[in-house]
Structure 1
Amino acid sequence: MTEAIHLTDRSPTVTGAEIIAALVPPRQFDSAGFDNYVPNPDYPSQDAALARLRAFTGAWGAEPRSGVFHRTHHPARRPQKPGIYLDGGFGVGKTHLLAATWHAAPGRKHYGSFLQFTALIGALGYAGAAQSLRGARLLCIDEFELDDPGDTMMMTRLLSELVGSGSRIVATSNTPANALGEGRFAAGDFLREIQSMAADFETVRVDGVDYRRRNLVGQARTVDAAEYESRIADLSAQGIAVSSDRFEALIDHLASLHPSRYAKVLDGVHVVGLTGVRVLHDQTAALRFAAFVDRAYDAQIPVIATGAPLNTVFDEEMLQGGYRKKYLRASSRLLALTQAQQDGASPWNADESRARGLPASNQ
């Protein structure tokens, strides 16, 4: 039997080397490929995006040349831009396509969230981060974010430098590349920076509906205090690493950590338990929790919770604001994570579930 872990007791540090080593797709996308991406026939843009990315990875041409991005020219074909920007809502398969591109690409490559790349700059400094990434044939950036104008400028500069040295870039976001920042920042200088970066990207639209909501309806599952304690005890008795924290305490603890450290807070945890979930009204706290949810989702960690349904923790004002899409994505992921625990399984990986002593999912 193991004791329940308290995430609030964990204050890990993260080195630049650890961030670099972690720049690979989340494990639920270990087997993501172009062949197992199944476009929805109701949304032809999905098939078009698949074909475009196949062509993108199939036309690498010569090795990148120092200081010059090598474009392959053909009399009947326009020069290929160095970047692809996958634009679409959450849950439409953009991340699968991004991971499939990473797996198909030759040579040195890196895959990470926008947060991971900005954390690398924080850990190594701009020059150190640029040096560590220079020479990579491909950078895949998931959910390009603009929560901080300084991060926007650093990433714009970094991407421009890497493209100039020969790297190719594929990124995802919930908004078109030239519209990033709308509804968040009014500063024209930042918009000009963003639009300058967008010129290097071919925007590819991916329409569709959130796949997590196709089979999941209603609210995120909650349990009462007695069932919560029973489940935590049962999981601990089976030797499954389960955490248990008060929601309020976790929200306070996240404020003491840089979001780049949230993934390490969850290291080795197989099920997350939260008590006393409530609706959040503070934007900063909500953004931190959304970042935490992303890391839990990447790590395939089911959630047990008491209190308010976890997919309702972002208040109505937030859901109508500039971060609406980020909160809706987090809500969708929380619905899937609590449903996974209701079914007694990881929502992605049956082998991983069995290794944890949990029944395999039917999904």
Structure 2
Amino acid sequence: MTSAPAAVGSLAAAVPHVPPARLLADLLPPRHFADARFSTYRASPQHPSQAATVARLEEVAAVIAKPVRKGLFARRTSAPAVYMDGGFGVGKTHLLTSLAHAVGLDVSAYGTFVEYTNLVGALGFRATVDALASKKLVCIDEFELDDPGDTVLMSRLLRELADHGVALAATSNTLPDALGEGRFAAEDFLREIQALADRFEVLRVDGEDYRHRAVVTDSAPLPGSAIRAAAGSVPGATLDAFDDVLTHLARVHPSRYGAMLDGVELVALTGVHPVAEQATALRLVVLVDRLYDRDVPVLLAGGGEHGLFTDEMLAGGYRKKYYRALSRLGALAEDGRALVG
């Protein structure tokens, strides 16, 4: 007697409601890095900056976790602010998560850059400051300034948090004083960008993408019939045409992409092809990041992730985002193959 196929869901049909309270509650390290600690980071001997960054972050964690002296004669000291710069796949998110764990998740807020800007949009600026000012540490992963409004907003937010004595830690693929280059007229907002840069101690993390060492990140796509059958065998799987998902992403705010994946154990996409429009490609990058955060395997039919972004995109101002997405998507595709055998 054969078992009935699993009910297959649709990512393109998911329209989640995300109340502001959930946006705050979700400011935690991603599931993918639940076990990340300084002790589990494998620093490469070929890149001494990795071990140096670990040592410095351990010092920073000790400073942040130290009880705050109160009273008339207590000395006011500025809270640490560190900024990890390096290529994709060198373990910056692992280190940022390790810092949050070392300080304590109950007194830390952890989110991507876009999650913080979305939080301001949902709560309002003052309510966001009040909520985050209760923390000892605010971690900002994937720090990117994609438009002038974000530049001014984040500069003001970090200034207010620092004034409240909140420690800051960020990761990015771009040095602070180069944020915005290739995406908007950064020179017009140089003062704001420089103010951001001046707040941080920059920790350089050199190295190669670790995912290239363990998995094939340019996996061959599967036939459409194969992934349809596979999706029917995995409880919690979704099955969609790639174009349907791209269209749907334009209708859902990026702050809700994570909630779209609630209960999803596998994402299967048919008809995967190169994306030619930049706004569509950037939305796809956010979805890939949320899939990776939640360890959701993918199955790709059509062209797979190979050639997903155009040569022009891979040479432009958002190239580091696109390369990160390709690296992560390749790893998730290998996870999908392993899941269905």
Interval of TM-score (by shorter of Structure 1 and Structure 2): over 0.9
Q: How far apart, CA to CA, are the structure 2 residues paired with 1:133 and 1:234?
A: 43
Match for residue 133 of structure 1? 132
Tell whether the 8 Å contact from 1:297 to 1:337 is kept in structure 2 after alignment.
yes
1:286-333 C-alpha deviation (Å, 9 max, x unpaired): 000011100011010110111012242111110010000000000000
1:313 and 2:308 correspond: yes
Match for residue 149 of structure 1? 148
Supply the AA of the counterpart residue of 1:40: S
1:32-81 C-alpha deviation (Å, 9 max, x unpaired): 11111110101000000000000111123442879x9942xxxxxxxx76
- What is the aligned counterpart of 2:58 among 54, 59, 81? 54
Supply the AA of the counterpart residue of 1:48: A
Equivalent runs, 1:1-363 vs 2, <5 Å: 1-60=5-64, 61-63=66-68, 70-71=76-77, 82-106=80-104, 108-217=107-216, 219-235=218-234, 240-344=235-339
Supply the AA of the counterpart residue of 2:227: Y
Supply the AA of the counterpart residue of 1:92: V
The alignment yields a C-alpha RMSD, in angstroms, of: 1.9
Do the aligned partners of residues 146 and 65 (structure 1) sit closer, same or farther apart at CA in structure 2, a change above 3 Å counting?
farther
Sequence identity (%): 45
Q: How far apart, CA to CA, are the structure 1 residues paired with 2:97 and 2:163?
A: 23
Query: Where in structure 1 are there 5+ consecutive unaligned residues?
Result: 72-79, 345-357
Do the aligned partners of residues 151 and 218 (structure 1) sit closer, same or farther apart at CA in structure 2, a change above 3 Å counting?
closer
Q: Secondary structure at the match of 1:306?
A: strand
Q: Secondary structure at the match of 1:58?
A: helix
Tell whether the 8 Å contact from 2:79 to 2:162 is kept in structure 1 after alignment.
no
Match for residue 354 of structure 1? none
Supply the AA of the counterpart residue of 1:217: V
Q: How far apart, CA to CA, are the structure 1 residues paired with 2:30 and 2:110?
A: 9
Q: Secondary structure at the match of 1:35?
A: helix
Do the aligned partners of residues 156 and 64 (structure 1) sit closer, same or farther apart at CA in structure 2, a change above 3 Å counting?
farther
Q: How far apart, CA to CA, are the structure 1 residues paired with 2:75 and 2:186?
A: 31
Q: How far apart, CA to CA, are the structure 1 residues paired with 2:75 and 2:195?
A: 17
Query: Where in structure 2 are there 5+ consecutive unaligned residues?
Result: none
Q: How far apart, CA to CA, are the structure 1 residues paired with 2:84 and 2:186?
A: 25
Q: How far apart, CA to CA, are the structure 2 residues paired with 1:213 and 1:288?
A: 24
Tell whether the 8 Å contact from 1:39 to 1:46 is kept in structure 2 after alignment.
yes
Offset at residue 226 of structure 1 (A) = 2.1
Q: How far apart, CA to CA, are the structure 1 residues paired with 2:96 and 2:69?
A: 21
Q: How far apart, CA to CA, are the structure 2 residues paired with 1:278 and 1:69?
A: 59
Q: How far apart, CA to CA, are the structure 1 residues paired with 2:130 and 2:166?
A: 13
Offset at residue 342 of structure 1 (A) = 1.3
Q: TM-score, normalised by structure 1?
A: 0.88
Q: How far apart, CA to CA, are the structure 1 residues paired with 2:217 and 2:39?
A: 32
Offset at residue 187 of structure 1 (A) = 4.1
Supply the AA of the counterpart residue of 1:285: T
The answer to which of 155-164 and 54-63 deviates more is: 54-63
Q: How far apart, CA to CA, are the structure 2 residues paired with 1:46 and 1:247?
A: 38
Supply the AA of the counterpart residue of 1:10: A
Q: TM-score, normalised by structure 2?
A: 0.93
1:176-216 C-alpha deviation (Å, 9 max, x unpaired): 11111122222433222011111111000000000111123
